[in-house]
Amino acid sequence: MMTALRKGIFNEQDEAQEQEQESLEDVVARFRASTASQELRISPPPSPEAIAHLIEHVKNEQPLSPSDVAEWNKRWAEVSAEIRGIDEEDDVAEGRGF
């Protein structure tokens, strides 16, 4: 009984070692094979009516006024500064500080 248990353990170890010895090329090939049929798709695709509605909406959209553009840029700069601040705090907290 002990021999059967040892054989089982050694077989598992042998399989683990074989997996550890897998080359980078093998890993990439295995990954590509597993994702080859999983191309990026929107499922289900939008209906022709939905596409026509979107085109109509975009076609009738008015450009932003100069004051709206200035306001947008101001708010975007504020958001960007806040994101940078959070990123810097995270870097320091996680030991990637500058």
For residue 76, is it within any domain? yes
For residue 8, is it within any domain? yes
Most confident of 33-37, 80-84, 90-94: 80-84
Contacts of 88 (CB under 8 A, 6+ apart): 98
Which region holds residue 43: left if phi is over 0, alpha if psi is between -120 and 50, else beta?
beta
**Cα 42 from chain centre:** 16
Query: What CA–CA distance (Å, rounded) separates 93 from 98?
Result: 11
Query: What CA–CA distance (Å, rounded) separates 88 from 69?
Result: 28
For residue 93, is it within any domain? yes
- Alpha-carbon dihedral of residues 64, 69, 72, 77, nearest 10 degrees? 150
Q: The pTM is what?
A: 0.39
- Strands (E) across 17-77 are located at none
The arithmetic mean of pLDDT across residues 79-90, rounded, is 94
For residue 53, is it within any domain? no
In the predicted model, is pLDDT for residue 47 greater than 80? yes
Domain limits for position 19: 1-38
Tokens of 53: 């509605």
Number of domains into which the chain is organized:
2
Query: What CA–CA distance (Å, rounded) separates 7 from 18?
Result: 16
pLDDT bracket for residue 61 (50, 70, 90): confident
